[in-house]
Chain A
């Protein structure tokens, strides 16, 4: 291989300076575009007050919300009552006074002293095992927390005082002496220890009670146990078989609301399907009016095309809000919104496809004296139909996604449900479930639509 020496290179560049000089205009344009972009981004930073908003964001809570997607907390509360302890759980928890998690053990208070209400279990000593040797031991006079080999001893006079013996370890915080102490076990949870009560938050990976909620007789049973009950067990509910009961319990699961989520998902699918189908059906004849090689009347062409532009430009959001007011929240509003917007979109796409057809087939039809309708039917439709159907299929898939979003403004479907779940800020695991469902549905439809399109128009269908 010949290699140019440095002197050769210089000699060549001296001989042809114009080749190596580069264009000033080009260089300047590059700089101008770069500077313009930087200036615009600086403006946007100021305009949206990005710095201030990001700084004031509640980032600590973001971590909890994200953790809630894939994990859950069980929150037993232990109240100090003079000479005993009362264990209770939040109202919607599957655990009750007579049903405790395995990691929480306690010594029962003698029945005579028990004046507790039905949802509280009296005890004289409670041990909460967090992780391995990490545990919280609660007695009516104090709390002992063990975390990573260190022990924290807290003496408690119920409802009066809380005192720590010695220094606080790094994993425990107390704002002022005499105030509540927070102990942190990392992902496994945390606990707040106060003079009145101990609030434990024990976190686990996974989705809690995904199939059966606390009211179900199947709750807390292993898959094997459930299967054997369903297949060969005694009837739990005399009114229905065990299988029917299990199905009923799953569908009506109060935490996950499977039945409702599936119905809403189906609504979204229906919205996209019917909206796209109707839009295709209406846009098809209108596109013949808009195509200037088929309807040779400039006025009709223009009117049809401007009509499509109007439908498209008014935007799906406006149609959705409009029809939600007219028909009430629900899939009809969503169908109408998709139908209106996509009639415009398809009209434009179809008429462009019609304007690009090969004229020879029509000529052939005309030359044998076919009627105008037959000319279109046999001269035009066979050429464009695969393309048109392919475009509709493509939008069917994309509309499934759009339907989710317009659902959130009231047009029904999973979007609204998703939005409601997010609003409460406590059901992020339900959000994760619905997102997963949407992703799966979109994935399936994407594949169906791509497969059908490939059969229709070959490999051009890749995007």
Chain B
């Protein structure tokens, strides 16, 4: 049924075929490289792991079995530091030991207290990071700073703060200040300055410069231009990014806690390594609920601040 093609038509067909086959070749090549990289990686990962994947897999559920507490209410008791009927003097069931008495017989359960500590680490770090990120971001924005060297310097500084591994900062200050929350605060704050500073200056660079032009026209100096021309426009976005950071920092300070920075991360690590099932489950529930609550609260507030834009969410970075 096909009509014979003219010479021009044949040329077009020929070109199309070549293009299509080249694309197919590229796709296949890309997938092949990906496949090779993946198999190599998997082999390497399995080879250098302490336990081999297929040897350990059958025992995986043994381990899950070990995580089940003696009864469901023991989780409850561990969470609120109530005495356990299984108390035998060991660390495993010494729930009331951890009580933090505030006044009289009113106490905070140990894990709630630790959770509060972690949240406070995250909050303080986010505030510090926000403050310094705020101060630095205007110096890195190309629409506000004409000196290239200053922008370059501030941007590299922020990049280094962002990419520098948090555990190294935490580890360094752990060595200087001994155990505690402050190394965690310093580590998370420094990282937050870098991360927020970067997001902030991108927001500033996208700001509407008309307000700034107006202020410049009436002779406003640089701080006035920034404060009255730029800040009111970018503040909702800044706050939104700050809240996003808070979500991330709650997770980050938990992790830093696990390597010696105090808070809930540390008790979680200890509890898992000591096989205290009820305690572990209690901490996981508490941590899970906190993270969900912080995420929900932050999402709600961000939506109020910047509307639908608020859906960018992240982790790590």
* Nearest chain A CB to B192 CB, angstrom units: 14
A330 interface neighbour in B49, B166, B178, B256, Cβ under 8 Å: B49
* Nearest chain A CB to B166 CB, angstrom units: 6
Q: Which A residues lie within 8 Å of B254 (CB)?
A: 315, 317
Inter-chain contact B259/A408, CB cutoff 8 Å: yes
Inter-chain contact A406/B185, CB cutoff 8 Å: no
* B129 on the A face (CB < 8 A): no
* Nearest chain A CB to B53 CB, angstrom units: 6
Q: DSSP class of B's interface residues: helix, strand, loop or mixed?
A: helix
Known A-B contacts A317-B268, A321-B272; the reply to A418 vs B258 at CB < 8 A is no
* B124 on the A face (CB < 8 A): yes
Q: What 1/0 flags go to B248-272 for Cβ under 8 Å of A?
A: 0001101110110000010011001
Inter-chain contact B316/A398, CB cutoff 8 Å: yes
Inter-chain contact B50/A318, CB cutoff 8 Å: no
Interface size counted on chain B using CB atoms at 8 A:
68
Q: Which B residues lie within 8 Å of A435 (CB)?
A: 164-165, 168
* Nearest chain B CB to A279 CB, angstrom units: 12
Q: Which B residues lie within 8 Å of A40 (CB)?
A: 123, 127
Inter-chain contact A277/B38, CB cutoff 8 Å: yes
* Nearest chain B CB to A310 CB, angstrom units: 8
Inter-chain contact B288/A313, CB cutoff 8 Å: yes
* B292 on the A face (CB < 8 A): yes
CA distance A210 to B164 in the complex (A): 22
* B284 on the A face (CB < 8 A): yes
Inter-chain contact B177/A267, CB cutoff 8 Å: no
Inter-chain contact B56/A274, CB cutoff 8 Å: no
CA distance A62 to B186 in the complex (A): 15
Known A-B contacts A48-B120, A50-B182, A422-B168; the reply to A412 vs B287 at CB < 8 A is no
Q: What 1/0 flags go to A384-418 for Cβ under 8 Å of B?
A: 00000000000100110110111011001001001
CA distance A333 to B174 in the complex (A): 26
Inter-chain contact B181/A315, CB cutoff 8 Å: no
* A200 on the B face (CB < 8 A): no
Known A-B contacts A415-B167, A425-B175; the reply to A395 vs B316 at CB < 8 A is yes
Q: Which B residues lie within 8 Å of A322 (CB)?
A: 272
Considering only residues 259-276 of chain A, those with a C-beta below 8 Å from chain B are 263, 266-267, 270-271, 273-274
Q: Which A residues lie within 8 Å of B315 (CB)?
A: 312, 316, 341, 345, 395, 398, 402
Inter-chain contact A335/B45, CB cutoff 8 Å: yes
Q: Which A residues lie within 8 Å of B117 (CB)?
A: 47
Inter-chain contact A54/B175, CB cutoff 8 Å: no
Q: What 1/0 flags go to B153-188 for Cβ under 8 Å of A?
A: 000000010011111100110111110111001000
Inter-chain contact B59/A326, CB cutoff 8 Å: yes
Inter-chain contact A41/B202, CB cutoff 8 Å: no
Q: Which B residues lie within 8 Å of A404 (CB)?
A: 165, 167
Known A-B contacts A263-B48, A317-B254, A318-B287; the reply to A58 vs B167 at CB < 8 A is no
Q: Which A residues lie within 8 Å of B127 (CB)?
A: 37, 40-41
Known A-B contacts A316-B251, A321-B268; the reply to A327 vs B53 at CB < 8 A is yes
Q: Which A residues lie within 8 Å of B259 (CB)?
A: 408-409, 419
B255 interface neighbour in A41, A331, A409, Cβ under 8 Å: A409
Q: What 1/0 flags go to A88-107 for Cβ under 8 Å of B?
A: 00000000000000000000
Nearest to A45 among chain B residues (CB) is B124
B268 interface neighbour in A50, A271, A318, A401, Cβ under 8 Å: A318
Nearest to A322 among chain B residues (CB) is B272
* A59 on the B face (CB < 8 A): yes
Inter-chain contact A48/B165, CB cutoff 8 Å: no
Q: Which of B48, B63, B123, B254 has the most CB of A within 10 A?
A: B48
Inter-chain contact A274/B172, CB cutoff 8 Å: no
Nearest to A463 among chain B residues (CB) is B202
Interface residues in chain A, defined as those with a beta carbon under 8 Å from any beta carbon in chain B: 37, 40-41, 44, 47-48, 50, 53-54, 56-59, 61-62, 65, 263, 266-267, 270-271, 273-274, 277, 309, 312-318, 321-322, 325-333, 335, 341, 345, 348, 352, 395, 398-399, 401-402, 404-406, 408-409, 412, 415, 418-419, 422-423, 425, 431, 435, 438-439, 442-443, 446, 462-463
